Structure 1
Amino acid sequence: MGRIEETFAQLKQNNHKALIPFITAGDPNMDTTEKIIATLVDAGADLIELGVPFSDPMADGPTIQAASERALAAGATLDSVLDLVERVRSFSQVPIVLMGYYNPVFCYGLERFAARAAQAGVDGLLLVDLPSEEREELHIHLKPKGIHLITLLAPTTPPDRAAQLLKQAQGFVYYVSMTGVTGTSKVDGSAIESQVVQLRELSPVPVAVGFGITTEQDAAAIARFSDAVVVGSALVKVIQQHAESPRLQEEVRRFVAELKQGVSRATDLQ
């Protein structure tokens, strides 16, 4: 098993759910991002989604778009993101999933990217704009390297298509809790619970839910019926607000620890 499988297997054995924080690599700079990752792990993150900055992040709301702009202005590149993951591997084996868009990977070269990502210690890749019908040209390079291409599903995904997509699911499934871009609305657990429960019954891998989760209470409510909770924009806002402050790591730790408490309470709500 890879790091993702091992992590979820251990959580399941202990009747726990996963917390997956998202941050943008290079916001405000790569050195600070490396320290933030260490803080996330220390605060209870089970996996980490690391955003690859891109100049046209069409699926992201204003918060993560601004984070990408700051990271690119600070000199972030796909190479520097992979170098960052490699440095993280010197102190942590936390599963890391790169999240972003197909263009940077395509321009880098699919085979070259797969080899470099594996060398760095990347566990998964989630490309929000890569249609499943076109995934194979990338998957054939990732699979031999043990890098999972994460499947993305949404409330608007027809049941027949969802069932088909689940057949190719690896690592975990990312279920988008609502339509639209990230960070613009608040999640309504009651509106998606039945769909997530059905997906978990069909899915060969764990199901993570993201978009609109901003508080400890949100995390607890979603973790009750999912395998994992993804928090992005709310955490990116914390980083933005305290980027120039010596309290940055303390504020990140506090926020993530609160989310972890919510996720840990999920078993009590079941």
Structure 2
Amino acid sequence: MTPVTRPRGRLPARVYWFRRAMVLTLAFGLVWGVAHLLGGRSGADDGPSARPVGADASGPTTSAAPPTSAPPQAVTSPRATQLGKGGRRAEVRPTVLASPEGTCTVSDVSAEPTVKGNAYAGQRVVFAVELTSRISPACTLTIGPSTLVLRLTSGSDRIWSTQDCRASVPTRKVVVRRDVPATVPVTWNGQRSDPGCTHSTSWAEPGYYHATAAVLGADPADRQFELRTPPRPVVTKSPKPNKPTPKGKPSASPSR
């Protein structure tokens, strides 16, 4: 076999430039690859530090959440108190009423009259007589025309009294308590009273009167009230309807 004869001597210049370009390309690629690899690892290590502290469940127990203010305290009140926007209302327990301990001592019971609503002349007026005990927590008392008196006066003028109109006081057994009043309704017909409580007396005029209530044997309580002029009814006048034209008669004269 004839051996391969290799050319001897200097190669062309383009061969050397090609080799140099290949070496530089390989070197640049190697440097870029190493830099990219190191940069990727550095970015991976910086990831957790870029997140908020509170986002890592395995992080320290110290939370970065903003501190919440303590809820406002409920104010002690007999009614439910609203704690704030979106807050709950405090539940109020019902008042435990005292159980009666025997019959009331008459001198221990006070009676205070008040008018229920507005009082108008010429109409019935309802008084709410509130009974409370001064000392006993709770006791029982039989109320009726013989034990409860309500009298209306105007100066020295005696206008009306339950001693004349005994049927105005209901007969019932009530529990009188020191903290919670018992209410007894007494109705006045709006007229003056006379023995026998006839209905032939005159009506009381508008003005200021005094209502005095008492349980017989106890101190009376006096309250002033106003007997007002009743409001006048508003009468709306309806327009009169037009009279229909009689049948058979022309509504206008015929033209000639």
The bucket for the TM-score relative to the shorter chain is under 0.3
Q: Select the structure with the greater relative contact order (CA < 8 A; seq sep ≥ 6).
A: 1
Question: Whose helix proportion is higher, 1 or 2?
Answer: 1
Question: Whose strand proportion is higher, 1 or 2?
Answer: 2
Structure label with greater radius of gyration: 2
TM-score by length of 2: 0.18
